[in-house]
Amino acid sequence: MPDWLEIALRTAMAVIILFIMTRILGKRQVSQLSLFEYITGISIGNLAAYLSLDTDKHWIHGIVALSVWVVFSLGIEFLQLKSKRARDFLDGKPTIIIQNGKILEDNMKKEKVTSDELMGLLRAKDVFDLSQVEFAILDTSGELNVLLKKEHQPLTPSDIRLPVAPEKFSMAVIMDGKILEDSLKRIGLNRNWLAAKLKQIGTSPDKIYLAQVDSQNKLYLDPYDDSMKPL
């Protein structure tokens, strides 16, 4: 077999195996990673590259190595679910960076966070004035979570004792010109209701790129035709 064809087949196989193993490991592997998950991701990527390109070695060796990493990772995740001490050891603990409006410099040094980086993390949370911050904690994922002082927090209906109805999330009912029957059922509607709404507007599902229904059964339509405004 030519080398280029063997590499192509090995790469295709590596992609399939990586996809399957990532599904097994769960969604956290593709979201915010812990330290161990970060190391696991790098290692599995290197092993996949080895499996794809090292034609002098048997491909089964690469699969064995990948499988060991996945089993080991699943074992660590199981241990983290069962033990708080294991979670603290493997992932670390959140660190308080600002408390009672005061920056804790020792904790900043411990986490190797500079003042410039702190300001950048605050700006990422739409906080541009340090004096507005009451509390900030650096989570194990590296994300900074911020609590503003009471006088700078947004006003909510509960602050003025205003009763509000429960809010439901909007549901997509048309995607890529296709009606999503299951989504309609979840919100207590059906194809006939949707057809009647589209008929009133003078359009059809195949002309709609995306459609959503909100908690008030209001229909939002985004047509394929970019010259038309959303309906």
- The pLDDT value recorded for residue 136 is 92
Q: Which of 57, 54, 59 is nearest to 17 (CA)?
A: 59
In sign, the C-alpha dihedral spanning 110, 116, 117, 119 is: positive
The listed range with the strongest mean pLDDT (123-127, 183-187, 222-226) is: 123-127
Quote the CA–CA distance of 16 and 136 in Å, as a whole number: 41
pLDDT in tens, 93-132: 888 999 998 999 999 988 888 889 899 999 999 989 888 9
Q: Please name which of 65, 28, 16 lies closest in space to residue 43, comparing C-alpha atoms.
A: 65
- Structurally, at CATH architecture level, domain 171-223 sits in 2-Layer Sandwich (3.30)
> Mean pLDDT score of the chain, rounded to an integer?
79
Alpha helix ranges (H) inside 83-180: 84-91, 105-110, 115-124
Reported pTM: 0.52
Q: Could you give the angle at the alpha carbon of 158 between the alpha carbons of 156 and 164, nearest 5°?
A: 95
Q: What is the DSSP string of 170-229?
A: -EEEEETTEE-HHHHHHTT--HHHHHHHHHHHT--GGGEEEEEE-TT--EEEEES-TTSP
Measuring CA to CA, which residue among 49, 54, 139, 46 is closest to residue 97? 139
pLDDT for the residue numbered 146: 92
Tokens found for residue 100: 């009672």
Percentage of the chain beyond pLDDT 90 is: 12
Quote the pLDDT of residue 29.
45
Mapping DSSP to helix (H, G, I), strand (E, B) and coil, where does residue 169 land?
Answer: coil
CATH 3.30.240.20 given to domain 95-152:
yes
Report the distance separating Cα 97 and Cα 58, nearest Å: 50
Q: Which of 81-85, 123-127, 181-185 has the lowest mean pLDDT?
A: 81-85
Instruction: Please say whether the beta carbons of 46 and 53 come within 8 A.
Output: no
Report how far apart, in Å, the C-alpha atoms of 155 and of each of 151, 152, 160, 161 are. 9, 9, 8, 11
DSSP SS3 for 128: coil
Predicted pLDDT of residue 71: 79
| Nearest Cα residue to 172 out of 222, 122, 133 | 222
pLDDT in tens, 138-162: 887 778 899 999 888 887 888 778 8
Residues 160, 144: Cα–Cα separation, whole Å: 29
